[in-house]
Chains A and B, each alone.
Chain A
Amino acid sequence: MDYLIAGIQVGFIYALVSLGIVLVYRATRILNFAHPDFATFGIFIAIDILDKYGDKSAWVYILAGGAGAILSACVSFIIYFFIIYEGQKRGVSPLGLTIVTIGIAYFFQSLEIIIWGADPKAVPHFVSGKFSLMGIELTWHFAVIVVVSLTIMFILYLLIMKTRLGIALRAISQNLDASRTLGINVRFVVGFAFFLSSLASGIAGILIAPVYSVDQFFLFDPFLKAFIGAVIGGLDSPPGAIIGSLIVGITESLFGGYVSIKYKTAFIFFIGLIFLGIRPEGIFGKEIKERV
């Protein structure tokens, strides 16, 4: 039971990260390898803000975390606006732009080492203690993660389905050239998708930071698993990404608990491969058709 709860907890974190992956993938067909690094950058800023304040009340945490997440989102927006869009304008293929994001990821990792050093940092828990719900012992940390992630998912849903910006985003993901012809500012709207995706994963990173030790690679592992979650659910569909990530989180936690903790990452990759073999477009994805 404990493993199941830990799995759900980590699954929600993966879900937030994979939502970001899916948002960017739908809009640009780029797999953004720099995705975890924008978030990590924000988290380092958040830790710096936390260190400035002596007494760590809840408000300080919310302030620092929010500032870090928004900052990482802004960095992500700027990177798209000035670098990746430049590539798109020159007709670089999505695969080439994926390589560009690998370069950007590499850049941020080393920038973080230069500024903050390579030693892992510990982030104190922002809530502690337990409570029981229907006879199950739960930590407040778990409750905070679930509530915050559900809220963010709901806000993202509203943004994408109900606002003008979200409609423009969906139009771009269906047909880029047509939406450009119809007067959508692609540069700004896709930049906004990058902004949202980094905001979600920045918040995810801050929520999970007390559990891991924070260094410049600490979100890379969640990123890989979130990607596998997105693949299982379907890279085209946000709800699929959430469900796939929950599956990955729970499977990983149960496998780590009952079978072997050493090989859990390898096992998750194995599961992802099997899913890809059975249903390459994912549970909720549309079937992939290819033309010559």
Chain B
Amino acid sequence: MISALKKRTVRLKIDYLDDWRIIQDRPAFIFTAVSVLTLFILPAFVSDYIIHILTQVVIYSIAVLGQNILIGYTGLISFGQVGFWGVGAYVLAHSLKLGLIPAIFLAGVTAAVVGAIVGVPSLRLKGPYLAIATLGFSVAFFQLVQNTPAISGGRMGLFIERVWGIDSPYELYCLSLSLCILFYLWGYRIVKSNTGRIFVAIRDSEVAAESLGVDVSRYKILSFMISSFFTGVAGGLYAYFIGYLEPTMFNITESILMFSAIVIGGIGSVFGSALGAAFVIVIQQIFVALKEFIPIVFAIAIVLVMIFEQHGLYGRWIKLKLYFMNFPFR
């Protein structure tokens, strides 16, 4: 037992490629492989209801990851995410004729273009100012959709027909999960690469980053674009998954929900985003009978996390892991 523990020594990183590696050693490889396989196979045996929740979690975690790259890594507080989410959803709804995958891609690209435009104020504003400015984008988007029947499909809302072979819940789940894994690998790569380091430098001190030769404006816009691309793809996928759109799905409350997901999951951690998304969705399902109490749970969670554990659920997980890795000592 002790020798088994001793074998698991910490490998020191010797170059940047080591830092890019997601799977550091054999136990981690086994753990990852088993969990990915479980995620793919398990839903074949459980009820449709649970698949429904899982799909929601998976789609949501893509959006939360996008937001985390913007808020957690670049340090730009944005409440405009629900706007990008909505842009993705409506673009997919209107371009589904092209087929599902091109439509999802188009949703992401459109959201990224919108994100680049919304990101422009971030060159002058920071902190709460930027939060309010992006909130303004959310409000404007909501008003635009609500007042334009050509986009929103009028009073009845917009129905989306399922095209292409994917229509059973399990197939849809597999599609979302594959996309989710793809995006998580990509997000991890971005965060660990040169770009990600520049994002963190901008977050920690904009002036210092600029004095070291970083083109701050370019990377801020880039961060907005990446983030809104993720969110747009997730929004498109969500629209296809729900099959029905109406403007009230994109109001400010939704923005706060998405925001609480990253705060609870852990600001500035890739896998924390998935934990946060899972927390938000699962809590909603647990308290489905007591609908009024859901926001209270989130509110208490946000306050506790911010005051006592600023790294969120992911920070807890790391601490737990470290505790068991050097068990007798602490």
**With known contacts A103-B303, A276-B121, A290-B207, A95–B127 Cβ distance under 8 A:** yes
Contact: B292 with A110, CB < 8 Å? yes
Q: Does chain A have a CB within 8 A of B169?
A: no
**With known contacts A99-B302, A106-B295, A114-B293, A87–B133 Cβ distance under 8 A:** no
Q: Does chain A have a CB within 8 A of B306?
A: yes
- Shortest CB–CB separation between residue A99 and chain B, in angstroms? 5
Please provide the chain B residues from 69 to 117 with a CB less than 8 Å away from any CB of chain A in the complex. 77
Q: Contacting B306 at CB < 8 Å: which of A96, A280, A291? A: A96
- Shortest CB–CB separation between residue A92 and chain B, in angstroms? 6
Please provide the chain B residues from 172 to 209 with a CB less than 8 Å away from any CB of chain A in the complex. 205-208
Bin the interface of chain B by size. Answer: 35 or more
Contact: B136 with A86, CB < 8 Å? no
Binds A, one of B233-241, B242-250, B255-263: B255-263
Complex: chain B residue closest to A118, CB-CB: B292
Contact: A31 with B307, CB < 8 Å? no
Can you give 26 contacting A-B residue pairs, CB < 8 Å?
A31-B127, A31-B132, A94-B127, A100-B306, A100-B307, A102-B256, A103-B299, A104-B303, A105-B299, A106-B256, A107-B296, A109-B295, A110-B293, A114-B292, A114-B296, A224-B132, A262-B143, A266-B140, A269-B133, A276-B121, A276-B124, A276-B129, A276-B133, A277-B121, A291-B207, A292-B205
Identify the 10 closest CB pairs spanning chains A and B, nearest first. Answer: A269-B136, A103-B302, A107-B299, A31-B128, A110-B295, A266-B140, A106-B299, A103-B303, A103-B299, A87-B307
Contact: B307 with A86, CB < 8 Å? yes
Q: Contacting B299 at CB < 8 Å: which of A98, A104, A270, A280? A: A104
Q: Does chain B have a CB within 8 A of A157?
A: no
Contact: A103 with B306, CB < 8 Å? yes
**With known contacts A96-B306, A107-B300, A110-B293, A273–B136 Cβ distance under 8 A:** yes
Count A-B pairs with CB separation below 8 Å.
123
Interface residues of A (CB under 8 A from B): 31, 83, 86-87, 90, 92, 94-100, 102-107, 109-111, 113-114, 220, 224, 227-228, 231, 262-263, 265-266, 269-270, 272-273, 276-277, 280, 290-292
A100 to B306, CA, bound (A): 6
A99 to B301, CA, bound (A): 12
Contact: A106 with B132, CB < 8 Å? no
Q: Does chain A have a CB within 8 A of B139?
A: yes
Q: Contacting B129 at CB < 8 Å: which of A94, A231, A292? A: A231
Q: Mark B280-314, 1 if CB is under 8 A from A, else 0.
A: 00000000000011111011111100111010000
Q: Does chain A have a CB within 8 A of B211?
A: yes
- Shortest CB–CB separation between residue A266 and chain B, in angstroms? 4
Q: Does chain A have a CB within 8 A of B125?
A: yes
**With known contacts A102-B256, A272-B136, A292-B205, A277–B303 Cβ distance under 8 A:** no
Complex: chain B residue closest to A98, CB-CB: B128
Q: Mark B201-236, 1 if CB is under 8 A from A, else 0.
A: 000011110010000000000000000000000000
A283 to B306, CA, bound (A): 34
Q: Which residues of B contact A87 (CB under 8 A)?
A: 306-307
Q: Contacting B260 at CB < 8 Å: which of A90, A103, A113, A272? A: A103
**With known contacts A114-B293, A277-B124, A292-B208, A106–B140 Cβ distance under 8 A:** no
Contact: A110 with B299, CB < 8 Å? yes
Q: Contacting B136 at CB < 8 Å: which of A83, A106, A262, A266? A: A266
A81 to B7, CA, bound (A): 51
Q: Does chain A have a CB within 8 A of B53?
A: no
Contact: B293 with A292, CB < 8 Å? no
Q: Contacting B140 at CB < 8 Å: which of A31, A269, A291? A: A269
